[in-house]
Structure 1
Amino acid sequence: MITNLARGVQSFTSNAFLVTGERPVLIDTGSNFDVVAAVREHVDDLEAVVLTHTHPDHIGNLEAVTTEFDLEPWCYDPSVDAVSSGHKIADGDTLVLGDDEYTAVHTPGHKDDHLCFYSREADVLIAGDLVFQNGSFGRTDLAEGDRATLIESIDRILEVVDEDLEAMHTGHGPSVTETPYEHIELASQMARRA
């Protein structure tokens, strides 16, 4: 099961997804709310915290989570100042999140260290800030942002995921559970027009 712990939070934060099952994992920690208490409402412990990327709204609560659960984060580049230590996830690596295996897909363009996670067996994409509902896509006006690279990353995700994708969990806004593949296709088109 995947639960957005930031749902309903009225502060500047990303979504923070708790994936429960055999291996409870937190995807992004969000910021400006007590994510530790939110985790504890669902599970007693975490096996890992995994980051889609290291923008402040996605890692603001990282220190609280790593301290409380005695973890080092998993991310694309654990040497970045925002993280300073942890475990590296390379493009194509496989991770168990909850009960399912997910493949890491390096998707820069919004930020150089951006990752998406896709499970073919669960038919789920964790998209971070690459794409959102209704064809929206990640900002490229921040440091490390690049529109052409973002378009390449969106197109790569379209090649990786199945057209009958069942769910897409995004870094902001609601998860997409009705025809998420079409939302990704629309994001690819919209990014080219903007």
Structure 2
Amino acid sequence: MISNVAAEVQAFTSNAFLVEGERRVLVDTGAGFDVVSVIDAHGGDLDAVVLTHTHPDHIGNAADLRNAYDVPIYGYDTNHDAVDEPLADGDVLQLGDHEYEVLHTPGHAEDHCCFYADATGVLFAGDLVFQNGGYGRTDLPGADRRTLLESIESVLDVIDEDLRELHTGHGPSVTEDAFQHVELAARSARAR
């Protein structure tokens, strides 16, 4: 089961997805809200946190989670204080009951990663792509539109039309025609 524990938060934050199952993992921590109380309300305890990237809205609650649950925080940029354990392109990690491939997808941020489970057709896209063809900002330090487009196209090479769920860093998750939303994001990024 996947739930966005930041769904009701009014502060500026990223989504934060609790993936339940054999290995309880939070994808991104969100920022500016009491994530520990929310996790506790969902049964408490975590096995790990994985980060799509280290922008403040995605890692703001990292220290609180580390203190409350003593969990490792995985991310691509091991030089960042929020990251305890490294992720690399092609790594496989367990979220909930399924294995996800780490896809390094720079462009919005140099350390950006997506997580994809082929067996279940689930993609955690962070700020790479959003619903209705949106895609991550490229006007921030370390961002680059051409690199972002290349990352979207590399994800399209891995996923297929059986993509069932697209969980994004902001806005609603997509559970119908998810592949088309990623394709539309690539077309939108090419057109700019």
Residue in structure 1 matched with residue 185 of structure 2 by the alignment: 187
The one-character-per-residue Cα deviations of 1:80-114 (angstroms, maximum 9, x if unpaired) are 2x42x510011000000000000000000000000
Indicate whether 1:60 and 2:60 are aligned. Answer: yes
1:36 is paired with a residue whose SS is: helix
CA distance in 2, matches of 1:98, 1:127: 17
User: Tell me, what secondary structure is at the counterpart of 2:150?
Assistant: helix
Aligned match of 2:11: 11
Runs of 4+ in structure 1 off by over 3 angstroms are none
The structural deviation recorded for 1:44 is: 2.6
* 1:14, distance to aligned residue in structure 2 (A): 0.2
Q: Distance in 2 between matches of 1:37 and 1:44?
A: 8
What are the equivalent positions in structure 2 for 1:12-27 lying under 5 Å apart?
Answer: 12-27=12-27
The alignment partner of 1:54 has SS state of coil
Q: Does 1:43 align with 2:43?
A: yes
Say if 2:172 is the partner of 1:174. Answer: yes
The number of residue pairs the alignment matches comes to: 192
* Amino-acid identity (%): 58
CA displacement at 1:148 relative to structure 2: 0.2
CA drift of 1:8 comes to 1.8
Under a length normalisation based on structure 2, what TM-score does the superposition of the two structures give? 0.98
Task: Write the distance in 2 (CA, Å) between the matches of 1:48 and 1:193.
Answer: 38
- The one-letter code matched in structure 1 to 2:168 is T
Paired amino acid for 1:8: E
TM-score (norm: length of structure 1): 0.97
CA distance in 2, matches of 1:65, 1:78: 18
Aligned to 2:107: 109
Measure, in 2, the Cα distance between the counterparts of 1:56 and 1:132: 19
Match of 1:117, SS state, is: strand
